């Protein structure tokens, strides 16, 4: 199997030493092409640069030793296991080597040969001197006068079918057969950012000469990844901004003022500042693309409401997308209570409303005839068939659940580009904002409205459950309400989850036990929307006192009379998520409590819950969360629609991220894409067909 042309898109089968069988195993790891193999970056590195003198070997430490083999012997244990032992000797001493169950080695090993051995030493009562190197990672036979090849060795994510040494060999032979990689970045960027060439970086990331070169290689490749993401985001931003103009809203007038007056409170300074920024954007002829971040209860919804009134005052319609039915309902009620008196027509488009074809048709007609000014709904709002007569503003609540790709779907719903306001209560650290929301401008509401009482948070073990529920009972008897949150809906048979009490189980236990005389209800995501609404309604109006629920109540639900939240199996939730959850209490006059119940003995789990006891700052928590769990976990199932990061790390590479963003900004506005074809290809590769604009660029 030989090929003259080298293409990175060639199958891995063409790599020397891979072959059809291993290619199948590699495919299971999503490695199909030479490029995939090349970007199968090492997970870590081993320092083999320093030889260990045999006399200096310490148990439990890694060793790199060179010596002469002697006393080779093998035996079988009663269980049929083959054990090969030998001594390795250098000028300083001798140590036992042990191999388990590798009979074939008997044909390779001979007394007197020189070996380079990499492995780990262990205490071994049977060995001479009480120590044996019995975790041998690799060894190689040296000619009598051969210098051992030392250096930094890559450690790849490997499997049983494709081992560490398979990867090392395959990648090494790929690099050896590979002509120099073509540069994809413009020379100016390489110079300005002091980046090494792509070719050097790609070779060095696998087999670095030293740590300095490794750092440079990593930085270059991380830069590429982040630069590509930023370019993609900038393209989306540029596309919507350049090609179609937005709506120039008029200055805020009597209607916005009337809405402000209708509010039962004054805006906080942060709310004023953010609304001013939003109003400015809306009055501009370029479409607004703004993200408002603010901790739970910081009053983002009020800002959104004012922006919607502003669009109505300018003769447009506004759309408000909520992540759940419950929230859409809640916003609908609040908005219509406030705005109907001002002559603003508010409509609700939810799955419940649209279940009847007749109702749905009527509602769609009202929207397209401009008989509704503000429409609130869930993702039903982005379904085909909803046509606004004149859409001026789209507000998306809890945006990260919708993702970048859905964002552009809504944009396509009208000829003039509506303004877009995105609100998120998930405190997203700046680095993540730059990566995921690179196409948005960001405003922050830091201040909480006056009079908020801090929520007292305590972490408890499951042993204290009786006491905890007595406390909850006392709160309920005092006229307040409580949430009990569980990670699972129903019992799971899976081994990993078998110990977890589900929402159903806890509901049964509580409603038949301690709370048998208290109105309890169960709420979870698998229920019919209608049932969920009913249950939520009864909790909101105070009929239900205790609500056992999954995380469906995580976002935005506002029941000021609820003063206690118990979170069962708290270790199963992320910090940011727990923070969101506890934001459901502490909204009323009473002092509020959040009790995190967990029996996890893992120290990380404990540490995490303790952070919650002492920190009320959602942003700090999110940062911690990202550190402890990594970005993938943080966003959970959220499809943010961006290419995966293989080598860049949003924490370690903050600097690089900012440099990449600046460089991308400059690069894209200079309209270089047609010229740098290699870069454009990479963009298309990275984004696939997610953003067709890019491939057409």
Distance between terminal CA atoms of the chain? Answer: 38
Answer yes or no whether residue 580 interacts with ligand ADP by CB under 6 A: no
Q: Given the rule CB under 5 A, which of 234-242, 282-290, 354-362, 684-692 is the region that contacts Mg ion?
A: 282-290
Residue number of the CB atom closest to ligand ADP? 299
> Crossing angle of helices 198-206/211-243, nearest 10°?
130
CB 332 within 8 A of CB 346: yes
Task: Select the binding partner of residue 331 from ligand ADP, Mg ion, none (C-beta < 5 to 8 A, by kind).
Answer: none
d(CA 616, CA 457): 9
Among 10, 90, 558, 649, binds ligand ADP (CB under 6 A): 558
Residue 618 interacts with Mg ion (CB under 5 A): yes or no: no
Site for ligand ADP in 401-430 (CB under 6 A): 425
Please say which residue, 282 or 440, places its beta carbon nearer to Mg ion.
282
271 binds ligand ADP (CB under 6 A): yes
Q: Residues 421, 292: contact at Cβ < 8 Å? A: yes
Three-state secondary structure call for residue 408: helix
324 touches ligand ADP by CB under 6 A: no
Using the rule CB under 6 A, which residue among 67, 208, 232, 299 binds ligand ADP? 299
Backbone angles phi, psi at 475, to 5 degrees: -65, -45
19 interacts with, out of Mg ion, ligand ADP, none, CB within 5 to 8 A per kind: none
DSSP E strands: which ranges in 19-76? Answer: 44-47, 62-76
Applying CB under 6 A, does 98 fall inside the site for ligand ADP?
no
Q: How far is the CB of 393 from Mg ion (least distance, A)?
A: 9
Binding-site size, ligand ADP (CB under 6 A): 16
Residue partners of 494: CB distance under 8 A and separation at least 6 = none
Using alpha carbons, list the distances in angstroms from residue 237 to 240, 255, 286, 441, 691.
Answer: 6, 31, 11, 10, 12
Q: Which of residues 403-442 bind Mg ion (CB under 5 A)?
A: 419
Tokens of 299: 């009053």
- DSSP letter, residue 12: G
CA–CA distance, 430 with 623 (Å, rounded to integer): 9
CB within 8 Å of 397: residues ≥ 6 apart: 301, 304, 320, 321, 322, 323, 327, 331, 423, 555, 556
Stretch that binds ligand ADP, among 26-34, 266-274, 484-492, 621-629 (CB under 6 A): 266-274
**Is 232 an interacting residue with respect to Mg ion (CB under 5 A)?**
no
- As beta bridge partners, residue 419 has 393
Among 154, 232, 246, 586, contact with Mg ion (rule: CB under 5 A): 246
Q: Which is nearer to Mg ion, 216 or 419 (CB)?
A: 419
Should residue 542 be labelled a site residue for ligand ADP when binding is judged by CB under 6 A? no
- Residue 440's nearest CA partner among 426, 425, 420 is 420
Span from 40-48, 189-197, 226-234, 291-299 in contact with ligand ADP (CB under 6 A): 291-299
Which C-beta is closer to ligand ADP: that of 265 or that of 675?
265
Give least dist CB 540 to ligand ADP, A: 13
Query: What does the DSSP 8-state code read for residue 516?
Result: T
Q: Does 132 bind ligand ADP (CB under 6 A)?
A: no
Q: Per-residue x/- mask for ligand ADP, residues 440 to 469, rule CB under 6 A?
A: ---------x--------------------
Q: What are phi and psi of 8, to 5 degrees?
A: -65, -20
Residues that bind ligand ADP (CB under 6 A): 265, 267-268, 271, 294, 296-302, 425, 449, 556, 558
């Amino acid at each position: 199997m030989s090929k003259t042309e080298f293409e990175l898109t060639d199958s891995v089968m063409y790599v020397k030493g891979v072959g059809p069988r291993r290619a199948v195993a590699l495919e299971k790891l999503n490695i199909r092409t030479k490029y995939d193999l090349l970007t199968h970056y090492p997970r870590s590195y081993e320092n083999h640069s320093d030889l260990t003198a045999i006399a200096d070997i310490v148990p439990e430490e890694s060793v790199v030793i060179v010596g002469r083999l002697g006393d080779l012997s093998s035996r079988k244990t009663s269980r049929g296991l083959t054990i090969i032992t030998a001594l390795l000797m250098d000028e300083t001493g001798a140590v036992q080597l042990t191999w388990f169950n590798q009979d074939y080695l008997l044909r390779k090993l001979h007394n007197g040969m020189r070996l380079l051995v990499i492995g780990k030493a262990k205490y071994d009562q049977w060995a001479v001197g009480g120590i044996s190197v019995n975790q041998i990672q690799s060894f190689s036979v040296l000619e009598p006068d051969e210098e051992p090849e030392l250096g930094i060795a890559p450690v790849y994510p490997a499997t049983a079918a494709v081992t560490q040494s398979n990867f090392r060999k395959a990648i090494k032979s790929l690099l050896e057969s590979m002509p120099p990689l073509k540069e994809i970045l413009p020379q100016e960027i390489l110079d300005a950012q002091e980046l090494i060439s792509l070719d050097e970086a790609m070779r060095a990331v696998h087999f670095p000469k030293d740590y300095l070169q490794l750092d440079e290689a990593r930085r270059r490749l991380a830069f590429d990844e982040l630069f590509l993401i930023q370019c993609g985001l900038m393209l989306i931003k540029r596309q919507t901004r350049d090609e179609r103009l937005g709506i120039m809203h008029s200055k805020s007038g009597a209607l916005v003022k009337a809405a402000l007056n209708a509010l039962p409170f004054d805006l906080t300074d942060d709310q004023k500042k953010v609304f001013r920024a939003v109003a400015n954007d809306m009055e501009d002829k370029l479409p607004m693309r703004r993200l408002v971040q603010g901790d739970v209860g910081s009053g983002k919804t009020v800002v959104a409401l004012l922006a919607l009134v502003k669009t109505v005052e300018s003769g447009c319609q506004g759309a408000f997308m909520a992540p759940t039915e419950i929230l859409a309902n809640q916003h609908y009620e609040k908005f219509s209570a406030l705005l109907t008196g001002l002559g603003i027509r508010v409509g609700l488009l939810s799955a419940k409303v649209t279940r009847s074809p007749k109702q749905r048709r009527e509602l769609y007609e009202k929207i397209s005839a401009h008989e509704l000014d503000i429409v609130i709904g869930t993702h039903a709002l982005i379904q085909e068939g909803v046509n606004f007569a004149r859409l001026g503003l789209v507000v998306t609540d809890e945006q990260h659940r919708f993702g970048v790709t859905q964002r552009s779907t809504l944009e396509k719903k009208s000829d003039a580009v509506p303004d877009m306001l995105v609100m998120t209560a998930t405190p997203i650290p700046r680095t993540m904002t730059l990566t995921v929301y690179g196409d948005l401008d960001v405003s922050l509401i830091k201040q909480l409205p006056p009079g908020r009482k801090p929520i007292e948070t305590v972490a408890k073990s499951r042993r204290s459950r009786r006491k905890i529920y007595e406390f909850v009972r006392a709160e309920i008897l005092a006229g307040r309400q409580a949430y009990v949150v569980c990670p699972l809906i129903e019992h799971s048979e899976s081994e990993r989850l078998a110990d977890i009490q589900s929402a159903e189980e806890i509901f049964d236990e509580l409603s038949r036990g301690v709370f048998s005389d208290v109105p309890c209800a169960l709420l979870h995501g698998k229920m019919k929307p209608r049932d969920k609404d009913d249950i939520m309604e009864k909790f909101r109006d105070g009929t239900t006192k205790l609500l056992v629920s999954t995380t469906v109540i995580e976002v935005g639900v506002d029941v000021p009379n609820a003063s206690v939240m118990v979170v069962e199996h708290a270790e199963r939730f992320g910090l940011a998520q727990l923070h969101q959850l506890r934001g459901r209490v502490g909204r009323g006059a009473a002092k509020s409590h959040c009790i995190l119940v967990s029996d996890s003995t893992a120290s990380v789990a404990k540490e995490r819950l303790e952070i919650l006891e002492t920190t009320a700052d959602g942003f700090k928590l999110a940062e911690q969360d990202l550190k402890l769990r990594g970005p993938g976990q943080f966003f959970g199932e959220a499809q943010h629609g961006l290419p995966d990061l293989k080598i860049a790390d949003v924490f370690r590479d903050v600097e690089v991220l900012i440099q990449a963003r600046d460089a991308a900004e400059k690069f894209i506005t200079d309209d270089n894409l047609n010229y740098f074809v290699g870069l454009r290809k990479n963009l298309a590769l990275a984004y696939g067909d997610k953003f067709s604009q890019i491939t057409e660029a």
